[in-house]
Amino acid sequence: MAAAVDVPVVRVAGGRAGDDLRALWVVWKRELIRFRRNRMRIVTSLAQPVLFLFILGTGLSTVISTADHFNFRTFMFPGVLGMTVLFTSIFSAISIVWDREFGFLREMLVAPVHRWTLVLGKCLGGATVATIQGAIMLALAGLVGVPYNPVMLLVLLLEMMLTAFALTAFGVMLAARISDVQSFQVVTQLFVLPMFFLSGAVFPVTKLPVWLGILSKLDPLSYAVDPLRKEVFSYLSIPPPIRHTFDPGVSWGAWHLPVIFELGLVAIAAALMLGIAIQQFSRPA
């Protein structure tokens, strides 16, 4: 009589929370591995913010006259932080288009896990990378007259993290149905540059024409840059007239939006775009 053979239990992956969490972890970690191995990306992605801060900021400071020797680069610093997060977050989604062209995305989509885990892992990974880039820019704060206050730096990191997640979700939403890299670059440039310039990152939003002020209020990035600037300016000794000019805040009519409300708008936008991205990826290819 043949001896009984112990057959190992085989479990098909999928359907369990642990499988979804493991998939989310793998996608998130993949983004960080790609970022760590591509050192040229780290350098080039920081070059543009540094150029804006020290070249454009220095040039504009000679044109825009301010009393009490206020450094215009101090005004631009929060906007440059938003710029760093914006460009890094949006273009981190380009890897989705690359994965689609080379077939790797198809292998991810047929994995026995819920697709929302793949989208959420991608958004968290892109947000983490963008926050790291923003943290590197924070190291330059002292060069533009911004103090290295631990509480301020922590708050700025948290605000950049929320902004990065929202912008990465926006990029993933755009990349969900774009099949080639060239089209993705054209589409993102159509959104990225107007979002950046209308947010008040490089010029004050006071005394703008009515139509430009309306566009600035419709720009979702305005509600992310303004909390960054308010946090930085709260640790600066600035005369009230200069503060009113360079830190006017965002207002709807006579109501000046509080920071918590602005961050709430960013969080709502992040959840909305994440939901749209998940819905896009849940459709049949």
The span from the CA of 73 to the CA of 68, in Å, is 14
Domain locations in the chain as residue ranges = 18-282
The span from the CA of 86 to the CA of 167, in Å, is 6
Residue type, position 46, single letter: L
In 3D, which of 281, 270, 284 has the Cα closest to residue 119?
281
Indicate the pTM of the whole model.
Answer: 0.89
The span from the CA of 128 to the CA of 122, in Å, is 10
Please check the confidence at residue 21 and state whether its pLDDT lies above 70: yes
Tens digits of residue pLDDT in 88-115: 998 888 888 877 777 667 777 777 778 8
- Six token digits for residue 99: 């994965």
- Six token digits for residue 183: 């089209």
Q: How far apart are the first and last CA of the chain?
A: 53
The span from the CA of 46 to the CA of 41, in Å, is 8
Please check the confidence at residue 271 and state whether its pLDDT lies above 60: yes
Q: Where are the alpha helices (DSSP H) in the chain?
A: 17-37, 39-51, 57-61, 72-92, 94-102, 104-109, 115-138, 150-175, 181-198, 210-218, 222-233, 240-246, 259-282
User: Do 246 and 70 touch, CB atoms closer than 8 A?
Assistant: yes
| Percent of the chain's residues with pLDDT above 90 | 40
178: left (phi over 0), alpha (psi -120 to 50) or beta: beta
Looking at residue 138, its pLDDT comes to 93
Looking at residue 92, its pLDDT comes to 84
